[in-house]
Amino acid sequence: MGLPSHTVENGSVLVDSGQSRLRELGYKQELKRDLSVFSNFAFSFSIISVLTGITTLYNTGLTFGGPISLVYGWFIAGGFTMFVGLSMAEICSSYPTSGGLYYWSARLAGRNWAPFASWLTGWFNIVGQWAVTTSVDFSLAQLIQVIILLSTGGKNGGGYEASKYVVIAFHGAILSMHAIINSLPISVLSFFGQLAAVWNLLGVVLLMILIPSVATERASAKFVFTHFNTDNGEGINSKVYIFVLGLLMSQYTLTGYDASAHMTEETKNADKNGPKGIISAIGISIIFGWGYLLGITFAVTDIPYLLSEDNDAGGYAIAEIFYLAFKNRYGSGVGGIICLGVIGIAIFFCGMSSVTSNSRMVYAFSRDGAMPLSSLWHKVNKQEVPINAVWLSAFISFCMALTSLGSLVAFQAMVSIATIGLYIAYALPIFFRVSLARKSFVPGPFNLGRYGVVVGWIAVLWVATISVLFSLPVAYPVTSETLNYTPVAVGGLLVITVSWWIVSARHWFTGPITNIKNTRL
């Protein structure tokens, strides 16, 4: 059956092409379809949020390789991420549903494998999304703590250092605000999403120009484009190994663009605009992110000092860069603190959009009966908002952050799912599309033509590669404190998901359920 690529007429009523395709896939239109292509893009772009990812993990990039890892690693990760995004966009065009990845897997894996493929993809996707929200909002809580520290005199001036309990309280308050905003009608949420996109774009342009301009000491072009930092203090000497670890900052940043897929049931002409949202969010993030990296790195002159816990920002590199730039020129670091506030607002928007994407995934997964108490999480209120799914997502993200009270190592293991776990969810439907469904896949209005299979295999191989690379030890000798718990966290999720399937779910979960004719796929 050919897929509709335009608005079609149904009697006297014009039916949106995305809504028409949704009906063909067996689903009622229950959410309000009010998002434009820009609004759809805005949610993914604000979740990727280069101001969030780069700022949060800039220390990692500086430690492992420095400028070389930052400047060139960004394009390597960005280029391969675009392959992943293109493959996802092609599938999204054919299946524009809020379920996104897990629904795609069910349709592409074939009737026999559909239930298990859908189950595995869905749980990796939803847990990965919760981990993203956890890491984003916790990073904002940490940034607020650093802003307070610098505003009260800095670490060397008797500034206030918030305890881990205060930081977790900040985290809970931020999540509560995000849940409240996400309880509003989609038209209001759309406005915030567009504001978030504009804020991120303008914020990047402002900071990439302002910081190196204000800094009294600037790095040379030779330093920015050729310096490789091997002094990581972690016992790692191999340049290749160091560079690989430095890629984590870039790859962590470039995640979350599946939000465009999860918002398709609320997007006009989603079979075309959903794919546009995915691709444009990645492409624009790559360009503006590189500009931000360059601008900040030109203000780097002393890497060991920026990474030292004894500096005024307590070792938070970008905060120290901003603070010193203004303090050295004007005698006060207030301007730098204001710049950190600009980033803080961007991170706030990032977390807000992340909760939006989480809730739509919970809504769709519950609609298909995959979650405990599914009927509760699938409910929508009078404003056509999946209100229970919103608050569930916020609550689980808060619980995941509680691990930080016991050990930051345990918390990092939890957050590692945000990168590797989420990318595994991205790769599964792409793998099924280029293998089991290679000949049966029916493309939508957006498709890669004869290049679809090649692009898909490159995407799958890249995800397999980073899954291995980011599971490697990040410090030697390996101890309980330096062990990379990523394989433990991701492997644990895999064991739990598969075990649950074998023991219970295989007896009752048969994949996505159509709700028009009350039949299953």
Predicted confidence (pLDDT) per residue in 460-471, tens digit: 999 999 998 888
3 secondary structure, DSSP code: P
Report pTM: 0.89
What backbone torsions phi and psi does residue 309 show, to the nearest 5 degrees? -70, -5
Mean of the per-residue pLDDT values of the chain: 88
Q: How many helices (H) and strands (E) does the chain have?
A: 22, 2
CA distance to 233, 243, 441, per residue, from 131 (Å)? 28, 25, 31
Contact 295, 183 (CB under 8 A): no
Closest to 325 in 3D by CA, of 200, 219, 201, 205: 219
Rounded CA-CA distance 336/395 in Å is: 33
CATH of 32-507 given 3.40.50.300, 3.50.50.60, 1.20.1740.10, 3.40.640.10? 1.20.1740.10
What the block records as the tokens of 368 is 């298909």
Residue 184 burial (10 A CB sphere; 0-12, 13-18, 19+): middle
β-bridge partners, 15: 8
Largest CA distance in the chain: 73
Q: Where in the chain are the domains?
A: 32-507
- 13-15 vs 8-10, strand pairing mode: antiparallel
pLDDT in tens, the chain (521 residues): 334 344 444 444 456 777 787 788 777 777 777 788 888 888 888 888 899 989 988 998 999 999 999 999 999 999 999 999 999 999 999 998 877 888 899 999 988 899 999 999 999 989 988 988 999 999 999 999 999 999 999 998 889 999 999 999 999 999 999 999 999 988 888 888 889 889 999 999 999 999 999 999 999 999 999 999 998 888 888 999 999 988 888 888 898 888 888 888 888 888 889 999 999 999 999 999 999 999 999 999 999 999 999 999 999 999 999 999 999 999 999 999 999 999 999 999 999 989 988 888 898 888 888 888 878 887 887 777 889 999 999 999 999 899 888 777 667 766 677 788 889 999 999 999 999 999 899 999 999 999 999 999 999 999 999 998 888 888 888 877 777 888 888 888 999 999 999 999 999 998 887 766 544 45
Structure confidence by residue, pLDDT tens digits, 74-102: 999 999 999 999 999 999 999 988 778 88
DSSP H or E stretch at residue 14:
strand 13-15
DSSP 308-355: -TTSTTTT-HHHHHHHHHHHHHHS--HHHHHHHHHHHHHHHHHHHHHH
DSSP H or E stretch at residue 8:
strand 8-10
